Structure 1
């Protein structure tokens, strides 16, 4: 069975690699502010555990993505029928919507039809917020592209694939991971499969605003960059307006479609902070396109062992959060109400000013709500545990995920740190891998800090010494620690644990915690009792009080 699955995986990868379309295209940002048709709703779906639709893609009988109307004769056999197939809510994971798919990690084909009275005059981009893990996208039976990675957006130009009348959109989503994927199949969170974030058909002019980036550079400069897409991108007028501040930045795009502008910081600009999350209405205009946004402005930097927000030291009182909606049946379909519910628990119930969005990019609605609520954010890509650090394709994939995440969210004032990974083994290959990722992160965004959750700690004379070489490359040294939970250490010994941070950089505990069974009480503080959990946190906090250069916490997990 393993060999059979391996062969199917190789065939799927080969099919993707041979496609003519651009691999891993970066999506538009801020789709919610565009002229877009929301394709959310009920999609028909067909489960394909043997990946027959890929392996036999050249067969009329099995090529499910072609979505043929039906047999043309009594001997024209078909192995699929979307019209008779069940339906599922999109966005949404299949694990919680079909009990037979609760633990399914294979291929599912989704179809949605769209009726157009006439062909749109503008360019049409099919934008998918996220699909876990690998997506194959077809419009009217023709392949428009594919994407690997379960947590970042992608888009394809489908202008010449649409027709007046009925249009078929088919997206095959394969949740299976491989030893060279990011992450690998071995993780400690549920692998929700499906089209987990919204799908839109976005209408843009021939020359359109692809992305933009506004931020403060120190206390005296406000910088902005705009990148145009489509045709005729050179020498186009670009205008950015912030009416409340009386700001109007003007520039012209270069031959690549990029325009860079800067001005002095307006005297009346109120900087964004947890206590005062000021956001400004911003309009970006170029050619015949215009996009509106809400953007906050703040600075974040490291000064010795301190993290400075707007020039003042800040201690990160946080919690780690997975992207799972609250409820009896866990779901990865996150909307504004669900995001606000999760983040309100952090801010209002736990008095947090910081959240670690573990261990992958969360939906953009999470960071937008964090902007509004005044929560600082750690954003992470799923370079997790033992990925293939010596594989160039794996590195390229991690870079692409990071690029998609940073470009999507770098206008969110709440995000103060990009994390390049979590709990990875200490090897030369891994250090070289992260060296490139960190360089890319800083090239894409020089206004934020870079971190990673470490766990390689050396014990010497009773001290825990954080001398992982990766600590020299990042701005904030973060460690996942479970003293008194894993291993034989008793809770009585935890407060006396000594930590050493040779880097002298800000130091934080990015994870710690103890599980408990709700309602299990035990005066003797047996593990998994509520009493043990309370005692564990009390002991860990006492340990943290003595840690050097200590700058924050984000226990696991909300």
Structure 2
């Protein structure tokens, strides 16, 4: 009864799909980039959001006011401001406030950002959107002293129409970003990764026609046809001409939108089409056109499906030779500023260094810079939302929040050929409310994107040396995925690991979505039984776990935990961790550990066996 009530309330509270503009492929549109120098001001008591009696903050605390505080105080000696945004310190965005100052390392709360920029008042027949790639976790945005909107969720893009608020000349933008989360949020406060509060992805100002192409999705169907869905946004969206061009392939597909501004069509794929794959990551320029609006994208065409215990890419079995990773650039002081160069450095380690063809982007949607780089380099991608550990399964608002993040992630990346798996959760405890919650998300995925596979990283049951996959959610997934850490989070001798037996309740493919062991780069223990945290222990752990995996007949992929050491405040061993999870096969600066070559050799062997 509770589970059923939860679903009903969630459907009632959840915002309608695409109720707001989504600006698909916004990173490909011409734009004014607002990255760069911003002033910042810490606000631990949220003084800029509410007065001490809970009302609207007074002018002395109103960080977002359209005023230059120094000028106002010079003009009026009685003026009082307990902040001065224009004389506050300056940082370069995007990037977490972890890198702003030493005292911000573990700060959780509200920080205000402000800058000015020059613009022209929008021309008639156009509209302007202020778009953020992501801000962690909640963001309140003001332009020229006026609120333009709020967004919740730290990893997906959002945009606000600022057409009426822009003025000729100088404009002031202020953003309050609050990293604090509650038990009702997604994710909840307790995680095993760094929060990285702040504006962590690019900010742009995008001008489009009054009626524009808001969402454009193109893909190769399993039926051999290219399918297109377009949605226009604006007052003239209904009964409007639209077209799709792929210049390298010839024909133009065209039609008219319906009364809701939507249009769908399909065409038989040209025999000249080269399918995208890790071996040949072919991308095509695609032009979506309607009236004065032209939206361009770079898209690969491939199919993904399952057959029994196999995963099929372009109709042929593929073994996913992968690894997991967090969104964190190489270096001793990362700030989650993922540039194309940073993304290439990380993904190249997987593709060329590990002989991989797959990456699990955990545990939240990663930057579109990363998914586009995966398209370019030829890496299959697992993309997931942060439904992680202690979610409040019985709260309809929490479910609505998870649905919104899932929608924003899928709609942003549906044109990325690299993405083959949408994941709805990681390591969540079985229960009626949880099952109902996750089944709602699974249904949401299938509604938004029926061309990809659905999975979730689950836990397994152990009886002696028999591992059983007993999660009832398996029946709802296309691909099973299990996180397993026998030998690390257990006292099992490493030599015993390959003797474990895995049993499946269904005829579906399985991915070992996590397994791993910490090792501090440079710490060695060559004894007969090496200690945990040594490179030798990690390497042997991988040898034995890979030997176990080789005996699982329904195994279709691996994504060990993980590529690179990453920041995690919960990991506080003063010698080996010091605030870092050390399960990476490379250190935070890129030094390869012994286990790196163990996995690289396994993947070289598996790649050769499929040729």
Per the normalisation by structure 1, the TM-score is 0.94
Q: Could you say which residue in structure 1 is the equivalent of 2:35?
A: 40
Superposed displacement of residue 90, structure 1: 0.9
- Kindly provide the CA deviation profile for residues 143-188 of structure 1, in whole angstroms up to 9, marking residues without a partner as x: 1100000000000001111112221111100000110000001000
Take 1:148 and 1:235, find their aligned partners in 2: how far apart are those partners?
Answer: 34
Superposed displacement of residue 119, structure 1: 4.3
Matched, 1:553 2:558: yes
Contact kept? 1:129, 1:198, Cα under 8 Å:
yes
Q: Which one of 176, 191, 194 corresponds to residue 190 of structure 1?
A: 194
Take 1:45 and 1:469, find their aligned partners in 2: how far apart are those partners?
Answer: 48
- Kindly provide the CA deviation profile for residues 239-267 of structure 1, in whole angstroms up to 9, marking residues without a partner as x: 10011111211011111111111111111
Matched, 1:218 2:222: yes
Take 1:361 and 1:116, find their aligned partners in 2: how far apart are those partners?
Answer: 31
Take 1:263 and 1:465, find their aligned partners in 2: how far apart are those partners?
Answer: 44
Bigger drift between 438-447 and 256-265 goes to: 256-265
Q: Could you say which residue in structure 2 is the equivalent of 1:325?
A: 329
Q: Which one of 361, 374, 378 corresponds to residue 374 of structure 1?
A: 378
Q: Which one of 24, 44, 51 corresponds to residue 49 of structure 1?
A: 44
Q: Could you say which residue in structure 2 is the equivalent of 1:167?
A: 171
Structure 1 spans left out of the alignment, 5+ residues: 1-21
Matched, 1:419 2:423: yes
Take 2:97 and 2:123, find their aligned partners in 1: how far apart are those partners?
Answer: 32
Q: Could you say which residue in structure 2 is the equivalent of 1:358?
A: 362
Q: Which one of 471, 475, 478 corresponds to residue 475 of structure 1?
A: 478
Contact kept? 2:21, 2:214, Cα under 8 Å:
no
Contact kept? 1:507, 1:548, Cα under 8 Å:
no
Instruction: Please list, as runs of the form range in 1=range in 2, the aligned pairs for 1:157-306 lying within 5 A after superposition.
Output: 157-306=161-310
Take 1:353 and 1:485, find their aligned partners in 2: how far apart are those partners?
Answer: 26
Please state whether the residue corresponding to 2:433 is helix, strand or coil.
helix
Q: Could you say which residue in structure 2 is the equivalent of 1:536?
A: 541
Q: Could you say which residue in structure 1 is the equivalent of 2:3?
A: none
Q: Could you say which residue in structure 2 is the equivalent of 1:61?
A: 60
Matched, 1:510 2:513: yes
- Kindly provide the CA deviation profile for residues 300-352 of structure 1, in whole angstroms up to 9, marking residues without a partner as x: 00111100000000000001011001012112110111100000001110111
Take 1:460 and 1:504, find their aligned partners in 2: how far apart are those partners?
Answer: 21
Superposed displacement of residue 118, structure 1: 4.6
Contact kept? 1:302, 1:308, Cα under 8 Å:
yes
Take 1:314 and 1:64, find their aligned partners in 2: how far apart are those partners?
Answer: 54
Bigger drift between 55-64 and 298-307 goes to: 55-64
Q: Could you say which residue in structure 2 is the equivalent of 1:488?
A: 491
Take 2:22 and 2:286, find their aligned partners in 1: how far apart are those partners?
Answer: 20
Contact kept? 1:53, 1:62, Cα under 8 Å:
yes
Take 1:494 and 1:361, find their aligned partners in 2: how far apart are those partners?
Answer: 33
Q: Which one of 107, 113, 133 corresponds to residue 110 of structure 1?
A: 113
Q: Could you say which residue in structure 2 is the equivalent of 1:385?
A: 389
Contact kept? 2:466, 2:500, Cα under 8 Å:
yes
- Kindly provide the CA deviation profile for residues 501-540 of structure 1, in whole angstroms up to 9, marking residues without a partner as x: 1122101100000111111111221111111111100000
Contact kept? 2:120, 2:166, Cα under 8 Å:
no
Please state whether the residue corresponding to 2:399 is helix, strand or coil.
helix
Superposed displacement of residue 543, structure 1: 0.6
Matched, 1:91 2:94: yes
Please state whether the residue corresponding to 2:542 is helix, strand or coil.
helix
Structure 2 spans left out of the alignment, 5+ residues: 1-16, 564-611
Matched, 1:130 2:134: yes
Take 1:24 and 1:261, find their aligned partners in 2: how far apart are those partners?
Answer: 23
Take 1:109 and 1:23, find their aligned partners in 2: how far apart are those partners?
Answer: 29
Q: Could you say which residue in structure 1 is the equivalent of 2:151?
A: 147
**Relative to 1, partners in 2 of residues 1:27 and 1:112: Cα closer, same or farther, differing over 3 Å?**
farther
Please state whether the residue corresponding to 2:505 is helix, strand or coil.
coil
Take 1:461 and 1:100, find their aligned partners in 2: how far apart are those partners?
Answer: 48
Bigger drift between 347-356 and 457-466 goes to: 457-466
Take 1:101 and 1:23, find their aligned partners in 2: how far apart are those partners?
Answer: 36
Contact kept? 1:24, 1:154, Cα under 8 Å:
no
Superposed displacement of residue 461, structure 1: 5.0
Please state whether the residue corresponding to 2:490 is helix, strand or coil.
coil
Superposed displacement of residue 33, structure 1: 2.2
Take 1:555 and 1:81, find their aligned partners in 2: how far apart are those partners?
Answer: 48
- Kindly provide the CA deviation profile for residues 455-495 of structure 1, in whole angstroms up to 9, marking residues without a partner as x: 1x222353110010011111110000001001211111111
Superposed displacement of residue 25, structure 1: 4.2
Contact kept? 1:132, 1:193, Cα under 8 Å:
yes
Superposed displacement of residue 398, structure 1: 0.4
Q: Could you say which residue in structure 2 is the equivalent of 1:4?
A: none
- Kindly provide the CA deviation profile for residues 71-125 of structure 1, in whole angstroms up to 9, marking residues without a partner as x: 3522221111111100111111110232121111110010111123554442010
Superposed displacement of residue 415, structure 1: 0.3
Q: Could you say which residue in structure 2 is the equivalent of 1:396?
A: 400
Please state whether the residue corresponding to 1:204 is helix, strand or coil.
strand
**Relative to 1, partners in 2 of residues 1:24 and 1:64: Cα closer, same or farther, differing over 3 Å?**
farther
Superposed displacement of residue 418, structure 1: 0.2
Contact kept? 1:25, 1:154, Cα under 8 Å:
no
Please state whether the residue corresponding to 1:352 is helix, strand or coil.
coil
Take 2:252 and 2:163, find their aligned partners in 1: how far apart are those partners?
Answer: 33
